[in-house]
Chains A and B, each alone.
Chain A
Amino acid sequence: MDTTGGGTPVSEGALPSPRFPIEDALRSAGLWALVTLGLCFPIVAFETLQDFSNRLTIQARPLLVLFAVAAVFAGRFGWLALRHHGLPQLLPSTRFELTPERKKQLPRIGLAALLIFPFFALLLTGQGGAVKWIDNFGVQILIYVMLAWGLNIVVGLAGLLDLGYVAFYAVGAYAYALIATYVIPATVPGLGPWAFWICLPIAGILAAFWGILLGFPVLRLRGDYLAIVTLAFGEIIRLVLINWVEVTNGNAGIRTPYITFFGLPFSSRTGETTFGDVFSLPGSPAVHRSMFLYYTILALALLVAVATQRLRRLPIGRAWEAMREDEIACRSLGINTVNTKLTAFAIGAMFGGLAGAFFGARQGFVNPRSFEFMESATILAIVVLGGMGSLVGVAIAAIAVIGGIELLRELSFLKQIFGPEFDPGQYRMLIFGLAMVLMMIWRPRGLVGARQPTMPLDGNAKAISSSHVKEGHG
């Protein structure tokens, strides 16, 4: 039995070695440099260029390689030296714990911050800048918070590794696009203004249905096999969306009606009464619209959070977690693991579908490009980074990941350093990957690895260390 866990600092009893072992450090740095050289050889050392007659020529870049190797050498040596002199104490090491009272307040503070965020943005950046902050940051992040919270039910609670979650997002978005664009105008055009609110539950139900449909074939699969099949499922849905041109309009996508405030448009070219007119609000229609979107997605995301918290305290949620811990023991206690898995897939998918419907209404346009595997990977990364099962951790991870990606677009000053062709957005995957690796070294079980018990005997139960909590995946 492993009860020691991973968090015990080893150095407490051991004496630090008196002298910095320069030879060892040099050898290690040399090795790292050598590996860098090997890695550089095909990728960095040569550059392909097109000459005047459009032929490809290869050009060597020895200086660049030299620079990279030297940088790694110096970096490794410096790191070893720093570590020897006690850098880890300076870094916020694994002791990142808050007091229990603070922890209790964290969700409430977070919620208050989320509620006032749009007004705060408006105050700081004015009408012009606010839309970007509310829509590009706020709404975008909240969509991912909602998606990650939805996936958290499947991966974090039930322990079923799902790499195709974006499929349900797509189902929701296309459900909205098809119903709002074609079905409602063709049948009951009077319902047009309510399209979003009608489509929302339909998208959720459809996605849940597809979740069950995915659930059946993967019931008997575990771990890697489950991951591969769910990944394939995500790709199948995307390929169907691309190729079923008569319905989905293929790669060209579908233009959907813009979201309205229960029938009141936010802006109008034809002179209809707009939302701003009726409530005689100051400010531009774009701000009204983004605020409305913001509070809508905030409400939807909170719905997921509240539902998750409630479900965790119900037999179904406890059965999910028990299944993650030990499926065989579950069955020996009379729990039907087939139904338990299917409900996890269905409810997770339903929340993905709701987020999808919102996405469709917000973009005013859906096409299959929005539902590539990269989206699934990002959502899963958020769940893993946040700490599987923890709502607060997942929300923080979503802010960090999506906010970080969006912020990269903002770093235009880098253009002045690296030249006008430099696009920091192109490096987002590199930075994202690096951050992931570092996080997993620093906190292998995510930001909030500890599990909160669902039912204390008397008063308050303390969190359970991640060393006891299993990860499931099957």
Chain B
Amino acid sequence: MRWVRDPLLVVEGLTMRFGGLTAVRDLSFSVGRGDITALIGPNGAGKTTVFNCITGFYKPTSGLMALSTGGPVRLDEVAALASTGHRYKCVDDQIGADGVFLLERMPDFEIARRARVARTFQNIRLFSGMTVLENLIVAQHTPLMRASGWTIKGLFGAPQYREAEAAAMKRARYWLEHIELTHRADDAAGSLPYGDQRRLEIARAMCTDPVLLCLDEPAAGLNPRESLELNTLLRTIRDHHATSILLIEHDMSVVMEISDHVVVLEYGLRISDGTPESVRNDPKVIAAYLGVDDDEVAQVEAEVGL
């Protein structure tokens, strides 16, 4: 129950409306530090919308999303920050430093570089005309930009920038090895097979050194061998990096096997939240996933609260 003891991200009353359609309704859940948290639910349940809210691509209609690096999210601290009108509070106001971040107030790129939330997309978004290596280097834009003195020092080849570039290269190499793409480092990302593109997108997100990695259906469209490689990669991330994972996944066997915490959405509502065990045995989840007989629909709907 790390998501109660040591939450990294707390989502409270998140609602997202598109015109008349409410894609996410009053959703609350937490993500535990170091956990793999799975967000599951049928198609159109609003999972991607939740991701887009957390990563700042959508401004939620209402709700609070607080992320704390360095220590658990403390609600009193969050409330104090929320009342000030600031977006975040972090050590020395440094980019990448520990702090408390109100994600609903921050623009997308600030969430990525300050709150250190990285993500992948349901439809892969690689820089397809750049090489595999370049994709991993672009992901390290923020530290490289600072080292290049906002380009000016870099133009004159300052040693400080060269060091930073070497460090970036080292990190890129590390991830190239982990996704087993070192031999294709100089090929266009767009020329890779689908499964490799998926893993490259995850590696690229990891190159930003995130505290929270949001993966939108990473196993979709993968064959069994590629699925296995993906699981290995996710375990590597969990075991060797201080990165918590929030994962949207359809394949229940994957979810049950690797996640520590499962949140189930249906029609934008949270219908279940807990350990994989408890969720698997939850009648509402079974009803949502397996479907129910016609005569039981009314009863299940009453339970679900529709």
Contacts and interface: CB of A to CB of B under 8 A. Distances in A.
Interface of A: 1, 3, 307, 310-311, 314-316, 318-319, 321-322, 324-326, 328-337, 343, 451, 453-457, 461-462, 464-465, 467-470
A315 B125 contact: no
A334 B208 contact: yes
Nearest to A466: B129
A329 B154 CA distance: 24
A310 B157 CA distance: 9
A326 B154 CA distance: 24
B125 A318 contact: no
Contacts of A331: 57, 108-109, 112
Nearest to A460: B186
Given A325-B129, A453-B130, A334 B186 contact: no
Given A310-B155, A316-B151, A457-B182, A468 B128 contact: yes
Contact of A333 (B110, B118, B182, B191): B118
Most buried by A among B121, B126, B186: B186
Interface string B139-151: 1011011001001
27 contacts: A310-B154, A311-B151, A315-B145, A318-B141, A324-B129, A326-B126, A326-B128, A328-B57, A328-B121, A330-B109, A330-B138, A332-B55, A333-B109, A333-B138, A333-B208, A334-B113, A335-B141, A451-B129, A453-B133, A453-B134, A455-B169, A457-B173, A461-B131, A464-B129, A464-B188, A468-B189, A470-B129
Chain B: interface secondary structure?
Answer: helix
Contact of B130 (A322, A334, A337, A456): A322
A333 B207 CA distance: 9
B108 to A, nearest CB: 5
Contacts of B129: 321, 324-325, 451, 464, 468-470
A101 B100 CA distance: 54
A453 B141 contact: no
A190 to B, nearest CB: 32
Given A333-B141, A461-B186, A462-B186, A455 B133 contact: yes
A225 B176 CA distance: 39
Contacts of B130: 318, 321-322, 325, 451, 453, 464
A311 B208 CA distance: 21
B171 to A, nearest CB: 13
Contacts, number: 138
Contact of B127 (A307, A311, A322, A334): A322
Interface residues of B, number: 45
Given A318-B138, A322-B130, A462-B186, 13 more contacts: A316-B148, A325-B126, A326-B128, A331-B109, A332-B109, A332-B121, A333-B138, A333-B205, A455-B137, A456-B133, A464-B129, A469-B188, A470-B128
Interface in B148-178: 148, 151, 154-155, 161, 169, 173, 176
Nearest to B142: A334
Contact of A454 (B134, B161, B182): B134
Nearest to B96: A334
B151 A333 contact: no
A337 B108 CA distance: 10
A326 B120 CA distance: 13
A468 B204 contact: no
B190 interface: yes
B33 interface: no
A5 to B, nearest CB: 10
A308 B191 CA distance: 26
B284 interface: no
A145 B57 CA distance: 40
Given A314-B148, A333-B139, A457-B186, A328 B125 contact: yes
B289 interface: no
Given A329-B126, A331-B109, A334-B113, A314 B154 contact: yes
A462 B131 CA distance: 10
Given A329-B126, A333-B139, A316 B131 contact: no
